Structure 1
Amino acid sequence: MKLRRRKRELYEDSSALSDLAFLLIIYFIVIAGFNINKGFLMNLPARNSTRFILKDDLLRYELDGYGRLLFQGEVREPAAAEQEIRSALGSNPNLAVVLTVDPQTPWQQVVSFVELAQKLQVDSFSFTMKDENNRDPYP
């Protein structure tokens, strides 16, 4: 019985695959340069600093479940809130802006208000979620 011998296959030209791998590496390096994570840059207080804020220095806003901005129970437009915050900052440099957010609020409304606080360079800004019992966490 005669055994058949298999012919050895020669290596095929793999330069096309190495070219493809090189191009993919270049592609991902270039794309990585465009993927920039932009976030909110806000100054945080120093770790051991204590800052006292008087009740008169607080400016409280609320976002309800429909995304409406409320100030002292009245609906405000963002432009009106911007003017209120700007004038309050001018007369009171220790102003702290507090935002209470309903859990059903559309996220874009929260982001817009945070951008407004950043634009106006509010040093003390805080936001919190409204309690599930619909109680204001800041009475």
Structure 2
Amino acid sequence: MKIKRRKTLSFGETSASSDVAFLLIIYFLVIAGFNVNFGFLMTLPAKDSTRMILKDDLMRFDMDGSGSLSYEDSRLSRTDAEKLIRSAVRAHPNLAVVLSVDSEAPWQEVVSFVELAQKLEIDAFSFSMKEES
């Protein structure tokens, strides 16, 4: 007696390919939900734009190697800086804050100041490293 062999179907001819495609769609939809941005958004000016900032609308802060803040050669605590910026924002709505950072400053102090600027909704914020002399 001869045994009949069944014809083997390829992957494309079976319903398994549609099942795999459906599972991949579900997988990517679920993964897309986990993509969370833990950073912060800052509006940066366009590359070719020029923005006029009046001298009265500019605040310059310095951060030394220990992470201490100073404004106009006087040291400030983080809360004093916050109060100072808040009062300046009320007086000058187009306030621009500039932070000059020493290369030895702890990165967490810099991040904390950037978060403070974001919290106070400073639209024009800039920071740069001090040039070593």
> TM-score under structure 1 normalisation?
0.68
Partner of 2:95: 95
How many residue pairs get matched? Answer: 109
Per-residue CA deviation, residues 103-139 of structure 1 (Å, 9 max, x unaligned), is 0000000000000000001011010001111xxxxxx
CA distance in 2, matches of 1:31, 1:53: 44
CA distance in 1, matches of 2:34, 2:108: 24
Where does structure 2 lack aligned partners over 5 or more consecutive residues?
Answer: 1-28
The answer to whether 1:83 aligns with 2:78 is: no
Partner of 1:116: 116
Partner of 1:42: 42
The AA in structure 2 aligned to 1:46 is A
Alignment identity in percent?
A: 61
CA distance in 2, matches of 1:35, 1:46: 27
Matches for 1:1-139 after TM superposition, within 5 Å: 34=34, 36-133=36-133
Q: CA deviation at 1:54?
A: 2.0
> TM-score under structure 2 normalisation?
0.71
SS at match of 1:52: coil
CA distance in 1, matches of 2:53, 2:40: 23
Q: CA deviation at 1:76?
A: 0.5
Q: CA deviation at 1:38?
A: 1.5
Where does structure 1 lack aligned partners over 5 or more consecutive residues?
Answer: 1-28, 134-139
Aligned-residue RMSD, C-alpha: 2.2
CA distance in 2, matches of 1:109, 1:40: 16
